[in-house]
Amino acid sequence: MTASARLLLLFLFCFGFGLVSAQAVNDHGTAGDHGTAGDETDVHQSCDAHGDDYDPAGVILHHIADANEFHVFGDVSIPLPVFLYAPDHGWTVGLSSMFHHGETAIDGYVMNHGRVNRIADQDAAVLNGEHHVECIVHRQETVDGKTSDIYAAKIDGQEYLLDAPSVGDGGLLGGGITSFYDFSITKNVFTMLLAALLLIWLWGAVARRYKKNEGKAPTGIQSLMEPFFVFLREEITIPMIGEKHYERFQPFIMTVFFFVLFCNLLGLVPIFPGSSNVTGNIAVTMALAVIAAFVAYFHGNKHFWAHTLWMPGVPAAIKIFILTPVEILGLVIKPFSLMVRLFANITAGHIIILSLISLIFIFGSNGENVIGAGAGAVVGVAFTLFMNCIELLVAFVQAFIFAILSASYIGAAVEDAHHHDELGHHGEEKIAEGGAMGGAVTGMHTSAT
């Protein structure tokens, strides 16, 4: 199998795993987002709305969360496919526009703050056909010391309790098992598909150019992408994995790097087909981290597992009570750190930019103070442009750090015993370089706030 074929297969596996995990977690990721009047996927009116006061926290949380449509401006939006299945009803398929921004209930499904809920009452008359949604009722209830958000749809003057969003975690992540299954294409899923198509097109073109120019100097898109390939090979895979094994994992490291990079860059585009927060979604980064850990641990050799589970030359009591538990815990902490680092940095950047933009409306008292709005615009635009430059750097740095840490885990798992000291020395140097870059960018993030 050629390197390009392995790259494509590994990418499809990564994307498929990320797609399933994102769909399982994204749906209830906005549970704490109360939204504001006028949100593109929000119901047209909230029963407990308090005027049209600008709510910066609600707007920011709404925009970094997933949604079933791309908002363009005003009431104009680009709908996405909706695939819903309820065992007692069957399939409900269409576009998110059929909910009319939350004003219409379809077969008992309601668009609530960008997510699809279903009426919990299985005997309700509104579970079939279309019905007008007057508003969404939101309240908090405390049971056994635990506070939870309760939502209900008001239809024909009657309140219908809404079921929780559809998740497939069986309650592991707090969602539980609901009365329906949501297989919809959301903003994040659409962006991952777009990144996949762009990567396949890009590297397919590069592969065709290599075949055409075999034995010749690179030209066109080949000359553009070859420095990236050489950089990843010379600065990540060979130092971290070693010359003996790096070719097996070069396609995977390239897949991870460019997938994260493309998703980061698309997230910086404020309009369609960008504006989604893919790598700022904990489900996506979790899926990528789990895949990286699976690749590393699955290829772990005897030397790796011996030093992890039963380190030679150490008294048994120390191994049983100290070293082995710590090493096993490290197998979980490594992918966890991968997951949190990427998620936190990308999410922080989006929140900072949206907070700076919100200064325009805060200083202008939501349009009442023209001078305040002007001052907010000057400050907000200046700092937003600066932060966008920082975010562009972060997009590359975080992709590099994710790739180099993934390679380091793989290198530790496949290295030979006599190469341990040499490879470990080079690996520590490269990780230190990546950590220094990430620390510098994180410091710039902090100072910008």
Query: Which long-range contacts (C-beta less than 8 Å, at least 24 apart) are formed by 387-390?
Result: 387/349, 387/352, 387/353, 387/356, 387/448, 388/268, 388/353, 390/349, 390/441, 390/444, 390/445, 390/448
Sign of CA dihedral 309, 314, 316, 320: negative
Percent of the chain with pLDDT over 90: 16
Q: Give CA–CA dist 223/229, Å, rounded.
A: 10
Q: Is the peptide bond before 239 cis (omega within 30 degrees of 0)?
A: no
Q: Which of 60-69, 210-219, 340-349, 418-427 has the highest mean pLDDT?
A: 340-349
C-alpha 238/C-alpha 247 separation (Å) is 9
Computed over every residue of the chain, the mean pLDDT equals: 76
The C-alpha atoms of residue 86 and residue 180 are separated, in whole angstroms, by 4
How does strand 69-73 pair with strand 76-79?
antiparallel
Tell me the per-residue pLDDT of 149-158, one tens digit each, with 9 for 90 and over.
788 888 888 8
Q: Which of 135-139, 148-152, 154-158, 174-178 shows the lowest mean pLDDT across its residues?
A: 174-178
- pLDDT category at 423 given cuts 50, 70, 90 is very low
- Mind giving me the DSSP string for 63-103? HHS--SEEEEETTEEEE-EEEEEETTTEEEEEEGGGGGGGT
φ/ψ of 350, rounded to 5, equals -65, -40
Confidence label for 315 from pLDDT (cuts 50, 70 and 90): confident
Q: What is the pLDDT of residues 235-292, one digit of tens each?
A: 999 999 988 888 889 999 999 999 999 999 998 887 777 778 888 888 889 999 999 9
pLDDT of res. 293: 92
Q: How confident is the model at residue 224 (pLDDT cuts 50, 70, 90)?
A: confident
Q: How confident is the model at residue 233 (pLDDT cuts 50, 70, 90)?
A: very high
Model confidence pLDDT, tens digit, residues 327-377: 889 889 989 998 999 888 888 888 888 877 777 777 666 556 666 667 667
Task: Return the half-sphere exposure (C-beta side, CA atoms, 13 A cut-off) of residue 255.
Answer: 26
pLDDT at 43 > cutoff 70: no
Between 164 and 200, where is the model more confident? 200
CA max distance for the chain: 76
The segment with the largest mean pLDDT, out of 25-34, 100-109, 364-373, is 100-109
Least confident of 2-16, 70-84, 98-112: 2-16
Which of 134-143, 171-180, 279-288, 304-313 reaches the highest mean pLDDT? 279-288
CA distance 345 to 73: 28
Contacts 24+ apart (CB under 8 A), 290-293: 290/17, 290/21, 290/335, 291/13, 291/14, 291/17, 291/18, 292/256, 292/335, 292/338, 292/402, 292/405, 292/406, 292/409, 292/410, 293/331, 293/334, 293/335, 293/338, 293/409
Strand, coil or helix: what is 106?
strand
- Of 387, 358, 359, the closest CA to residue 375 belongs to 359
Region of 220 (left: φ > 0; alpha: ψ -120 to 50; beta: rest) is left
Count of other CB atoms within 10 angstroms of residue 13: 15
Is the pLDDT confidence value at 51 over 80? Answer: no
Measured distance CA(166)–CA(109) in Å, rounded: 11
pLDDT at 384 over 80: no
Q: How does 327-350 read in b/e, with b if 16+ C-beta sit within 10 Å?
A: beeebeebbeebbebbbbbbbbbb
Beta-bridge mates of residue 85: 91, 181
Q: Which uninterrupted H or E stretch holds 62?
A: helix 56-64
Which pairs count as long-range contacts for 359-366, CB under 8 Å and 24+ apart, including other chains?
361/54, 361/56, 362/54, 362/56, 366/52, 366/53, 366/54
Residue 419 confidence class, pLDDT cut points 50, 70, 90 = low
Task: Say which DSSP state 125 is in.
Answer: G
Instruction: Check whether 441 has a pLDDT greater than 70.
Output: no
CB count in 10 Å sphere of residue 419 = 16
pLDDT at 202 over 80: yes
Confidence (pLDDT) at 210: 86
Q: What percent of the chain has pLDDT over 70?
A: 73
Pairing state between β 115-118 and 90-95: unpaired
pLDDT band at residue 167 using 50, 70 and 90 as cut-offs? low
Does residue 38 register a pLDDT over 70? Answer: no
- Predicted confidence at residue 54, as pLDDT, reads 64
pLDDT in the model for residue 103: 86
pLDDT digits (tens, 9 = 90+) for 402-412: 999 999 999 88
Q: Say whether pLDDT at 25 is over 80.
A: no
Structure confidence at residue 399 as a pLDDT band (50, 70, 90): very high
Side-by-side strand order, sheet with 130-132? 115-118, 109-112, 104-106, 130-132
Flag the least confident range among 1-5, 92-96, 209-213.
1-5
**How many of the other CB atoms lie within 10 Å of CB of 249?**
23
pTM here?
Answer: 0.76
User: Which structure tokens are listed for 248?
Assistant: 């097996």
How would residue 391 be classed by pLDDT, with cut points 50, 70 and 90?
confident
Centre a 10 Å sphere on the Cβ of residue 416 and count the other Cβ atoms it contains. Answer: 12
Indicate the domain borders of the chain.
Answer: 3-16+190-448, 41-163
Whether 53 has a pLDDT exceeding 80, the answer reads: no
Q: What is the pLDDT of residue 30?
A: 35
Q: In DSSP terms, which residues pair with 111 in a beta bridge?
A: 116
Pairwise pLDDT comparison (132 vs 383), residue with the higher score: 132
**What is the average per-residue pLDDT within 12-16?**
44
SS3 category, 129: coil
CA angle 369, 374, 375 (to 5 degrees): 100
H helices then E strands: how many in the chain? 12, 12
pLDDT at residue 288 in the model: 93
